[in-house]
Amino acid sequence: MSGVLYGVGVGPGDPELMTLRAARLIGGAAVVAYPTLAGGASFARSIAAGLIAAGTEEIVIDVPMSVDRAPAQAAYDDGAARIAAVLDEGRDVVCLCEGDPFFYGSFMYLHARLVSRFKVEVVPGVTSVTACAARAAMPLAARNERVTILPGPLPETELRDRIAGAESVVIMKLGRHLGKIRAVLDDLGLAGQAMYVARATLADEVVCPLAEAPEVAPYFSMILLTKGADPWL
Amino acid sequence: MSGVLYGVGVGPGDPELMTLRAARLIGGAAVVAYPTLAGGASFARSIAAGLIAAGTEEIVIDVPMSVDRAPAQAAYDDGAARIAAVLDEGRDVVCLCEGDPFFYGSFMYLHARLVSRFKVEVVPGVTSVTACAARAAMPLAARNERVTILPGPLPETELRDRIAGAESVVIMKLGRHLGKIRAVLDDLGLAGQAMYVARATLADEVVCPLAEAPEVAPYFSMILLTKGADPWL
């Protein structure tokens, strides 16, 4: 009997926003796995750190930063092979994923490589989208309102077209794209309603109107723009 | 000192998908509140039931079903007044919300009525969107992919226009709108890639291709359509 691969969402940052199931699986894991970027620390591991028992085996998948996809693909191939070796021994592997495994998560690269050979269970997590809405006190959508989620690296013209036709808009992964996004929102006359949230639910969280946001944002940051989710008073 | 109003997401259905924070707040609550629809049972309360201590005071906000908004508005006015009375006594109130409080949740009607007078903390929860993706084994979005979330009751032409221009599509609240949505997806040639998920993570969950879905869906059901979140193999 092969082991089971668990893709476990650990939520947006505050360890208390892990699910009971995530906490149980991580606390009982003999082997955890997680990616790191170019030798950096793992955000997902830092969220789960308090639950990882001493002596737990850790499979670190270090993904190089490069424009070319091949080196990252090779890193996931190698990581998947190391996970598969543990699963083949009949032992389970708990893969730690910030937010939710299937929502802009790197777990899907492992999932694609392993799902045909092993039993995989995905444990959904709280995404940064609703965590940011909670911290900004901005309801995202009610009744028949639409929600559009856009990654910040999209080209300016596509961002403009998508935002212009949308109701509630969530723009993720701001980073060095913040200036471009700000220009689009200014141009559409929407910058005044936009909120900026960075590192939601962590100790160094920032929540402010977009006008007060820094010039360059961290990767884990977001703009929320709701055309006033009708509070139905 | 007034009490604090907690809007607590209890996740999509499986009680183990509550967050640690939700479980702690509900388990320690002296007063919980939740809406019911036309005298029915509360789904949010059923998810949290195992954590609600004996003797906990319960504020039930029964919302009548009607096309006219006024009766429901009056019910939320009355519920908000009963919650305010408890908060004014300096006691906290934990409001139970299925999924996430700010994602198509009725909590936002209480929030709108009470946020100017009381301290409110929103505890985000796992939404049905990522729970359904997990259960259907369908990654929602990677890298620069866009996600569009549409409520099923939208008019047919709007659904068609929004789906045609989208990448990953989530259609919520299917209910009696399933036939209309099916026709739109057939017409766009997308029905074959669509998955149907009802009551995700509950004992009576259904996960199947849209072609095998029933004629009429429950309210808590969803169609997922990803144009194949690129697994980046």
The span from the CA of A137 to the CA of A226, in Å, is 11
Q: Which residues of A touch B180 (CB under 8 A)?
A: none
Reply yes or no on whether the pLDDT at A229 is more than 80: no
Q: Are B118 and B84 in contact (CB under 8 A)?
A: yes
Q: In the prediction, which pLDDT does B67 show? A: 83
Q: In the prediction, which pLDDT does B165 show? A: 82
Q: In the prediction, which pLDDT does A38 show? A: 92
Listed residue (B91, B105, B90) closest to B34, CA to CA: B105
Measure CB to CB from residue B102 to each of A20, A125, A134 and give the nearest one. Answer: A134
* A122 to B141: CB separation less than 8 angstroms, yes or no: no
- Look over chain B and give the mean of its residue pLDDT values, rounded to a whole number: 95
ipTM higher than the 0.90 cut: yes
Give the global pTM.
0.96
Nearest CA in chain A to B130: A124
* B125 to A126: CB separation less than 8 angstroms, yes or no: yes
Residues of chain B with pLDDT under 50: none
How close does chain B come to A83, measured CA to CA in Å? 16
Write out the H or E segment, with its range, that includes residue B143: none
Reply yes or no on whether the pLDDT at A232 is more than 80: no
Q: What is the pLDDT of residues A145-157, one digit of tens each?
A: 999 999 999 999 9
Interface with B, mutate which of A69, A108, A128 (most B CBs under 10 A): A108
The span from the CA of B94 to the CA of B97, in Å, is 10
Walk across the sheet containing A31-37 and list its strands.
A57-63, A31-37, A93-97, A4-9, A119-123
Q: Are strands B4-9 and B119-123 parallel, antiparallel or unpaired?
A: parallel
Listed residue (A89, A108, A92) closest to A100, CA to CA: A108
Q: Which residues of B touch A20 (CB under 8 A)?
A: 15-20, 23
Q: What is the pLDDT of residues B125-177, one digit of tens each?
A: 999 999 999 999 999 998 899 999 999 999 999 999 999 988 999 999 999 99
Measure CB to CB from residue B21 to each of A17, A105, A141 and give the nearest one. Answer: A17
Reply yes or no on whether the pLDDT at A45 is more than 60: yes
* A20 to B24: CB separation less than 8 angstroms, yes or no: no
Reply yes or no on whether the pLDDT at A135 is more than 90: yes
Walk across the sheet containing B57-63 and list its strands.
B57-63, B31-37, B93-97, B4-9, B119-123
Task: Match domain B4-123 to its CATH number in 3.40.50.1820, 3.10.400.10, 3.40.1010.10, 3.40.1830.10.
Answer: 3.40.1010.10
| Domain residue ranges of chain A, discontinuous segments joined by + | 4-123, 128-225
Q: Which superfamily does CATH assign the domain made up of A128-225 to?
A: Tetrapyrrole methylase, C-terminal domain (3.30.950.10)
Q: In this structure, what DSSP letter does residue B67 have?
A: S
* A17 to B14: CB separation less than 8 angstroms, yes or no: no
Q: In the prediction, which pLDDT does B233 show? A: 58
SS3 A105: coil
Q: What is the pLDDT of residues A18-31, one digit of tens each?
A: 999 999 999 999 99
Q: In the prediction, which pLDDT does B34 show? A: 98
Q: Are B113 and A232 in contact (CB under 8 A)?
A: no
Measure CB to CB from residue B126 to each of A73, A115, A124 and give the nearest one. Answer: A124
